[in-house]
């Protein structure tokens, strides 16, 4: 038996067939077409699935072997498979399950992409074998997925996992959600970029600005980390401040929920050991019972494929 | 069958026998004797349990009917029944289960008092019939107990539920734990008192100060609420600010964990509808998906007896 996973993003959709060992055995992708009506977008996805099922290349790849189809979205869905809100795709209250099942009559599941990534990591990644974990994506925004007792916990009303919009600084920086001081405004890649742009305004001599070819609009998180590695003092100050914020946020997750392991994904996590070593040293300072064993912090093991594998695991 | 529950506090210990309908059928209390060695403290507790078991008053009250003994402590214990840290009682790494079982050979359990109260409320209080809840005590400090899928979740390492020490304001007010801006420093009774003392220094005409007989040291949370009810503008400002902080903290719990219900206990919760009406109006502003059904917020139904009932329920 195989399962189909769709990783639906704002620019592209990854579609894969996954075997029972959670390995991708066939994969394809299509661009996200927000210019088309919702029904036609679903049609393109199901066309792609039919295209993937090529039993000549692999006898397993047949529709009758497909157990279920799952989709991860950068948004929120209810238990009836209705996408309540998915800003990047312009979806609001669209019946994704119903529309899929008109075309392929298989069990269909949809969940938030951070929950999906958390599930994939807990099956085939860094949290494999653990019963509780929190997966945090450090990207343009902050996403999170919670696993408790081996299952995704997305809340009683399905609105949990929005770690990015917990308040980390009362009356702090304005967030895209309209509130002030959300976790997202201090611990995302966007936060690093904001801090760097502010800093180079005062310190135009910083290596950050020359790496950005003199244009503050070209600054990104990787560039700040690169300048820090080369010893730029402005970049080092931003890095230390970012680590302090991130450590306080992660320590909050530990103080409140205390999972077995915390997994970091998303663009910022590509900084790898530079990020991990600093965080591991810093975060216990903010944990109340830090004399006891604490959750491990790790970088996600699965890369882009986590979205497809986790979506295929939905049930 | 009956179960024994002990609510061990910094000044007194409530001990009760609880029946299978979670009703207290016999109860007694003893003062907390931190002046005595740990073993003698346990001896006093077990003496009290023996005194409670009076089959002449109720034929159920016999040691052979006791199924288990549970204790709630203002601290942290491991799964072997060792109290790791319990500052108010001066206990650090004391083998509470072992010491109890030397005297009464029954299954013995110990857990944090907020977890215990959460358990009691979920069985016999406001969260009865729900499968997930977060119980928050608004007292001198902030405690919390998490129930997921009908069971207490105290974390993988047993250090969870410390909502009071999540960061709510980066670089904020210094907390007793040593860090800055903990939830506790903005949402506890202590926070209300601090804000009121600061305000009356600038506004000695405030009703708060006259209710405190001119002595800022006599200010407490109830007194601030009383002044607000009488229309004192300084008290109203403090109340609104406190509600805003508390709403942002509770919205954070909802954004991250989304339980079915949030229960408030502790001294501040005695303000009842005054607190509840303001919070219910304010907290959805800070929830990301606030167009969907949200967790109810309620004041705990069980009073002082929650500690004994919940402790007896430990297993």
What's the pLDDT at A259?
A: 98
Residue of B nearest to A86 (CA): B289
Same domain, B144 and B247: yes
A57 and A22 fall within a common domain:
yes
Write the DSSP symbol of residue A175: P
Partner-chain residue, chosen from A132, A160, A172, that has the shortest CB–CB distance to B156: A132
Half-sphere exposure of A272 (CA within 13 A, CB side): 5
pLDDT of residue A16: 97
CA distance A268 to A190: 10
Span B102-130, pLDDT tens digits = 999 999 999 999 999 999 999 889 999 99
Q: How many CB pairs under 8 A join A and B?
A: 170
Contact check, Cβ <8 Å, A252/B155 = no
| B294 and B309, same domain (yes or no) | no
A169/B179 touch (CB, cutoff 8 Å), yes or no: no
pLDDT at A151: 87
Q: Given its phi and psi angles, is residue B87 left (phi above 0), alpha (psi -120 to 50 degrees) or beta?
A: alpha
Chain A residues in contact with B159 by the CB 8 A cut-off are: 254-255, 258, 287-289, 292, 294
Domain shared by B168 and B236, yes or no: yes
Please name the member of A76, A148, A252 whose beta carbon is closest to the beta carbon of B167: A252
Backbone angles phi, psi at A257, to 5 degrees: -110, -25
Residue B221 pLDDT exceeds 90:
yes
Distance from CA of B214 to the nearest CA of A (A): 31
| CA-based nearest distance B57→chain A, Å | 44
- Per-residue model confidence (pLDDT) at position A150: 87
Supply the angle between the helices B221-229 and B189-202 in degrees, to the nearest 10: 60
Residues of chain B in contact with residue A148, where contact means CB-CB under 8 angstroms, are 148-149, 153
Mean predicted lDDT score pLDDT of chain A: 95
User: Which pLDDT score, from 0 to 100, does residue A79 have?
Assistant: 87
Give domain status of residue B251, yes or no.
yes
Taking CA atoms, what residue in B is nearest to A289? Answer: B159
Q: Which helix (H) or strand (E) holds A167?
A: none
Confidence check: pLDDT of B313 > 90? yes
Residues with Cβ within 8 Å of A146's Cβ and at least 6 positions away in sequence, in order, are A115, A118, A133, A134, A135, A152, A153, A154, A160, A161, A257, A259, B256, B257
Same domain? For B145 and B274 the reply is: yes
- Which of B156, B179, B292 shows the shortest C-beta gap to A286? B179
Q: What is the CA radius of gyration of chain B?
A: 21
Residues B141 and B97 in one domain: no
Instruction: Tell me if A125 is assigned to some domain.
Output: no
Question: Using one digit for the tens of pLDDT, what is the confidence trace for B36-87?
Answer: 999 999 999 999 999 999 889 899 999 999 999 999 998 899 889 999 988 8
How far is the alpha carbon of A254 from chain B, nearest alpha carbon, in Å?
7
Does the residue B125 lie in any domain? no
Residues B271 and B193 in one domain: yes
Q: Are residues A142 and A50 in the same domain?
A: no
- From A201, A274, A190, A262, select the one nearest A236 (Cα to Cα): A274
Contact list in A for residue B157 (CB cut-off 8 A) is 258, 260, 292-295
CB contact under 8 A, A157 and B245: no
- Would you state the structure tokens that stand for residue B190, as one six-digit string? 């202590």
- Give the mean model confidence (pLDDT) for residues B159-176: 96
H or E segment and range at residue A4: strand A2-8
Rounded mean pLDDT of chain B?
95
What does the pLDDT read at residue A10?
82
- Give which of A156, A241, A253, A293 to mutate to test B binding, by max B Cβ within 10 Å: A156
Q: Which chain A residue has its CA at the smallest distance from B136's CA?
A: A256
Are B283 and B213 members of one domain?
A: yes
User: What pLDDT is recorded for position A87?
Assistant: 81
B/e letters for A65-78, b = 16+ CB within 10 Å, e = fewer, are: ebebbbbbbbbbbe
CB contacts of A160 in chain B (<8 Å) are 254-258
Average pLDDT over residues A215-229: 97
Nearest-angstrom CA–CA distance, B222 and B241: 16
Same domain flag for B53 and B116:
yes
In the sheet with A133-138, reading across from the earlier edge strand, the strands are A151-152, A142-148, A133-138, A261-265, A296-299
Q: What is the DSSP letter of B11?
A: S
The CATH number of the domain holding residue A278 is 3.30.420.40
What ipTM does this complex have? Answer: 0.90
The confidence band for B223, taking pLDDT boundaries of 50, 70 and 90, is very high
Q: Which residues contact A198 (CB under 8 A, 6 or more apart)?
A: none
- The whole-number pLDDT of residue B18 equals 96
The residue segments making up the domain with residue B272 are 130-299
pLDDT tens digits for A276-290? 999 999 999 999 999
**In this structure, is residue B244 part of a structural domain?**
yes
Give the residue with greater pLDDT, B113 vs A183.
A183
In a mutagenesis test of the B interface, which of A164, A184, A255 is the best target, namely the one with the most B β-carbons within 10 Å?
A255
Please state the rounded mean pLDDT for residues A38-65: 94
Which residues of chain A are within 8 Å of residue B146 when distances are taken between CB atoms? 256-257
- The predicted model gives A178-184 an average pLDDT of 97
> CB of A103 within 8 A of CB of A43?
yes
Residue A173 lies in a domain: yes
This prediction's pTM = 0.91
Q: What number is the average pLDDT over the span A244-273?
A: 97
pLDDT of residue B10: 82
Query: B28 with B308: CB under 8 angstroms?
Result: no
**Residue B226 lies inside a defined structural domain of this protein:** yes
Reported as a single tens digit per residue, the pLDDT across B7-40 is 998 889 999 999 999 999 999 999 999 999 999 9
| Residue B195 belongs to a domain | yes
Phi and psi dihedrals of B26, rounded to 5? -160, 145
Strands A261-265 and B12-18, sheet pairing: unpaired
pLDDT at A304 over 90: no
From CA B278, how far away is CA B184, in angstroms rounded? Answer: 20
Comparing C-alpha atoms, which of B266, B261, B225, B259 is closest to residue B242?
B225
Instruction: Looking at the structure, tell me whether residues B104 and B233 fall in a common domain.
Output: no
Residue B50 burial (CB < 10 Å; 0-12/13-18/19+)? exposed
Backbone angles phi, psi at A34, to 5 degrees: -70, -10
A82 part of a folded domain: yes
Domain count, chain A: 2
CA B3/CA B16 separation, integer angstroms: 8
Among chain B residues, the shortest Cα distance to A287 is held by B165
Q: What is the mean pLDDT of residues A76-105?
A: 93
Strand A108-112, strand A133-138: pairing: unpaired
Structure tokens at A298: 């790790």
What are the chain B neighbours of A263 within 8 Å (beta carbons)?
A: none
**Are A186 and A246 contained in the same domain?**
yes
């Amino acid at each position: 038996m195989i399962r189909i996973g769709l990783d639906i993003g704002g620019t592209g959709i990854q579609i894969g067939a996954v075997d029972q060992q959670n390995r991708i055995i066939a994969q394809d992708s299509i661009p996200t077409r927000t210019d088309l009506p919702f029904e036609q977008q679903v049609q393109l996805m199901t066309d792609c699935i039919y295209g993937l099922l090529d039993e000549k290349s692999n006898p397993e790849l047949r529709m009758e072997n497909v157990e279920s189809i799952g989709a991860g979205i950068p948004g929120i869905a209810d238990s009836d498979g209705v996408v309540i809100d998915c800003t990047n795709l312009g979806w609001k209250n669209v019946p994704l399950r119903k529309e899929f099942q008109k075309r392929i009559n298989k069990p269909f599941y949809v969940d938030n992409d951070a929950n999906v990534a958390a599930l994939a990591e807990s099956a085939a990644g860094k949290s494999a074998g653990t019963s509780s974990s929190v997966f945090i994506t450090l990207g343009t925004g902050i996403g999170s997925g919670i696993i408790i007792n081996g299952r995704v916990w997305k809340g009683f009303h399905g609105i949990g996992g929005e770690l990015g919009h917990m308040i980390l600084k009362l009356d702090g920086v304005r967030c895209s959600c309209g509130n002030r001081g959300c976790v997202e405004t201090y611990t995302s890649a966007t936060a690093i970029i904001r801090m760097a742009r502010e800093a180079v305004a005062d310190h135009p001599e910083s290596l950050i600005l020359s790496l950005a070819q003199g244009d503050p609009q070209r600054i990104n998180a990787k560039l700040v980390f690169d300048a820090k590695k080369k010893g730029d003092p402005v970049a080092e100050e931003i890095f230390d401040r970012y680590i302090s914020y991130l450590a306080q946020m992660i320590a909050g997750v530990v103080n409140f929920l205390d999972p077995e392991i915390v997994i970091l994904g998303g663009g910022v996590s590509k900084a790898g050991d530079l990020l991990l070593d600093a965080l591991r040293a810093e975060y216990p300072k903010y944990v109340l019972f830090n004399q006891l064993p604490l959750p491990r912090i790790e970088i996600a093991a699965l890369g882009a494929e986590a979205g497809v594998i986790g979506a295929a695991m939905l049930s």
